[in-house]
Structure 1
């Protein structure tokens, strides 16, 4: 009896996780080329990460990891996943600056920015925390405290899954492939 209840609880948790509709949603931002884009603009599944360009260590490390995951999925499994970086610091992270920055990670990397209101809307939709933290005497001396979650979206821009920083790249690759296969089978 207890095993049956545990099994039922496990199945319920999986069904609840798979049915989440409270993460993600429509957005309109500006890419590194100055073009307006939406969640449906990429034509492929997306790995989505929120951060800022002047982050000293975490963001560059996570973006490099995203680029490797995207490259490995393409090379080893033929799965095209677009890496997309959304800034939480639109005051400093302009399209021109993003254009140079994202090229350091991969040629197909997309950098997105927008107005403060647009950034607030997308971060609210993905439940991403961010806050400006002063780091000096001048108003332009600040860091951005923020969540470090990697999101997987399908080719239509719908949320599928998210990953914490502690997951191994190979684990993320396997989970991305499985989630995309499951999403395709469910259509």
Structure 2
């Protein structure tokens, strides 16, 4: 035990003696190391300036990054008004956005409306071109195929020629007052056609009935007979030769005898058509018994609407 304590005490004295001994240091050497250390040291002012310069550059870099981000966001807003994808927080929002896609109810309505408008336009143009083709085909070169000059008398006793038909459309029918059934039916249809066309186009149609029986259909007889159907229907009559020439111009067949004694009974046969003539006296279309009043009125009204030249309405006012 005592030997161990002696050893510890001797070690402590050795350490103490070593610490107490300090060899002399040259002053020049101390200055040399001091000067060397001073060369590598940075003054506090320069260090503070360096730190502030670094902070300024960092702030500038941050500002530049912020400006670039703002520009990018502005460009995104210029080309798109929808919300960005990163703002869609929930699955329901994403599904709702993707579910609609480029097609929605408004787009569907616009598409259907546009398609319907185009279909209606092209259908109307197709029908108009067909009517124009029919009207052009029926016109003769130099001399009309149907229709021409005539000189007759109306049911008021006034002269009436083909020139009096100028200025508006005319609907010409050939019949006679003693017709048992066909002529009354067709004149009823003519009255309905006239009223329907008048509702759509105004007073643009002149309804005429030219008799095929001039021996019995005098102006007074025609005026009383046609008053039962419509006051606008104008009856025309004349001599046998004038009626025959008029029927020839319109390509109408009739079998009235040329010489008839007073009170003698005879049969009259004739073609059953309505002849539509345009404001220039040219034949447009023949309307047969297979057309109803509504169908015939629609055909006439369409032709009147297709007419592009001015009409002489003042002479029929």
Per the shorter chain, which TM-score range? 0.7 to 0.9
User: Does the 8 Å contact 2:209/2:236 carry over to 1?
Assistant: yes
For 1:102 and 1:139, the matched residues in 2 are separated by 22
Q: Which of 237, 243, 246 pairs up with 1:119?
A: 243
* CA drift at 1:103: 0.9
Corresponding position: 1:41 with 2:161: no
For 2:180 and 2:151, the matched residues in 1 are separated by 28
For 2:185 and 2:293, the matched residues in 1 are separated by 12
Q: Determine the structure 1 residue equivalent to 2:153.
A: 30
More helix by share: 2
Q: Determine the structure 2 residue equivalent to 1:6.
A: none
Corresponding position: 1:143 with 2:267: yes
Runs of 4+ in 1 over 3 A off after TM superposition: 13-16
For 1:96 and 1:15, the matched residues in 2 are separated by 36
User: Does the 8 Å contact 2:174/2:273 carry over to 1?
Assistant: yes
Q: Determine the structure 2 residue equivalent to 1:169.
A: 293
- The alignment partner of 1:41 has SS state of helix
Q: Determine the structure 2 residue equivalent to 1:5.
A: none
Quick check: which has more Rg, 1 or 2?
2
- The alignment partner of 1:83 has SS state of strand
For 2:263 and 2:164, the matched residues in 1 are separated by 35
CA root-mean-square deviation: 2.3
Q: Determine the structure 1 residue equivalent to 2:202.
A: 78
* CA drift at 1:16: 6.1
TM-score (norm 2): 0.50
TM-score (norm 1): 0.82
User: Does the 8 Å contact 2:138/2:145 carry over to 1?
Assistant: no
Structure 1: stretches of 5+ with no match in the other structure: 1-9
Structure 1, residues 49-73: CA drift from partner, whole Å, max 9, x if none? 0011000000011011011100111
For 1:89 and 1:15, the matched residues in 2 are separated by 30
For 1:171 and 1:78, the matched residues in 2 are separated by 18
